[in-house]
Every structure is written in structure tokens, then in C-alpha cells.
Amino acid sequence: MDLSAVQAALSDKSYTAVASLCDELLLQAASKGTNTDEWPYSVHLLAHLYINDLYAIRRPCPRFFPILLMPWCCCDLGVSRNSARFFWKSLPQEVKDTRPELAAVWRIGQCLWNRDYAGVNTAAQGFEWGPDLTEFITAFLEIW
């Protein structure tokens, strides 16, 4: 499975592009019956939190502004704030149970949704992130 586009987006710090890249590549892999054992589930989940949930929480939408003036506004553009939840629910239980980094990203999401803002920092800083996620988590916390 060629994940070079995802790796390039991470290297370029184009974090807002990672979720859609991962979604597209995972659909392609599923349609071809490709083995996804090496899929970067943690990166994929964090990308959904970054673009959909974090931006929607941290950049609320004033309803009186025209949509065209605020292209970053998730709630008015119909971006699902639940995409990370749906992605998590679609994962096999075996994947959830065997990947501690994925569970750590999930804890960040749970803290976001429960508005436990101190817990977001605790969850993000309380885990030893792998090389794929270290800079991504740092960027996440900078926006946070």
C-alpha cells in the first residue's frame, strides 16, 4: 500500500489534508481487498480530530457572517464534527485493543467532546508518541 501522499503531507505539515488523503486511500485499499494491517490508524484518527473536531471547537461560527467569508468554518460548510467518532466505530476491536497510540489519540478525542480541555493537554502530553505523530501532536497542541 502506497502511503507516500500521507507521508508527504505530514512532512510538509499539511495537516488539514491528511484526513481526506487517508479516507481516500483507505477506500481504495478496501475496494481492492488490500491488507490494512500496516494502516496508520492513529494518524488517520488524529487527522479527523485536527480538521473537523478541533477546528470546529476552537473556531466557532458566528451565524451572522456570510459563509463565503469564512471558508475555514466547519459547521456552516457541513463538515462532520463526528467524523473521528465514526472512524473509531468502524475500526475492528482487535485494532483498537492492540494499538496503544490509537487509544491515546482516542482519549484526546473523548476529552474534546466532553469539553475536558485540561484533559486534552494531559492526554496529549502523557503519551510517548511515535515518529509519525510527534510533530502532528505538537501542531495540534499549538492550535489548541
- The residue range of the domain holding 127 is 4-143
Average pLDDT over residues 47-76: 58
Residue with cell 481492492: 32
Number of domains in the chain: 1
55: pLDDT confidence band, cut at 50, 70 and 90? low
Residues sharing a CB contact under 8 Å with residue 42, sequence separation 6 or more, in sequence order: 99, 101, 102, 104, 105, 130, 132, 133
And the C-alpha cell for 51? Answer: 480538521
The pTM of the full predicted model, rounded to 2 decimals, is 0.82
143: pLDDT confidence band, cut at 50, 70 and 90? confident
